Amino acid sequence: MSHCYRRFDDHIRLAVRLTPNGGRDGIDGVDVNANGEAHLKVRVSDVPEKGRANKALIALLAKRLGVAKSAVSLISGDAARQKILRIDGDPEDLIGRLETITAE
């Protein structure tokens, strides 16, 4: 099974497919695209204007993973639905929390 994250020494990188203006804020599990690459499906109620949806994404992930918003940063995909985020912290702890969230 492929994972939506990559582990590094002091952080993880998380692949996300964001649905802005999605009616609610939430995490809809892990999905795999046509290329076999896994990503976390996330929706936010904010619109994709002036970075509002990206800010809502960062706030949602920080809250659900129990980290500060400053520990979550956007690496790529600023104006795209497919994004890569860096989440600073202990990788084992973050992966455990992520797996708990996606199992809900």
Q: What does the pLDDT look like over 12-47, one tens digit per residue?
A: 999 999 999 988 999 999 999 888 999 999 999 999
Q: What domains appear along the chain, each with residue ranges and CATH number? A: 5-103 (3.30.1200.10)
1, pLDDT greater than 70: no
45 token code pair: 């109620």
Strand positions, DSSP E, the chain: 5-7, 11-19, 26-32, 38-43, 72-76, 82-88
Q: What does the pLDDT look like over 75-102, one tens digit per residue?
A: 999 999 999 999 999 999 999 999 999 8
pLDDT band (50, 70, 90) for residue 55: very high
Q: Residue 92 burial by CB count (10 A; 0-12/13-18/19+): exposed, middle or buried?
A: exposed
Section 57-84 average pLDDT: 97
Helix (H, G, I), strand (E, B) or coil at 62: helix
Give the span between the Cα atoms of 58 and 17, in whole angstroms: 13
Cβ atoms of residues 19 and 82 within 8 Å: no
- What is the crossing angle of helices 91-103 and 52-65, to 10°? 100
Q: Please give the pLDDT value at position 22.
A: 86
2, pLDDT greater than 80: no
Per-residue DSSP letter, 69: G
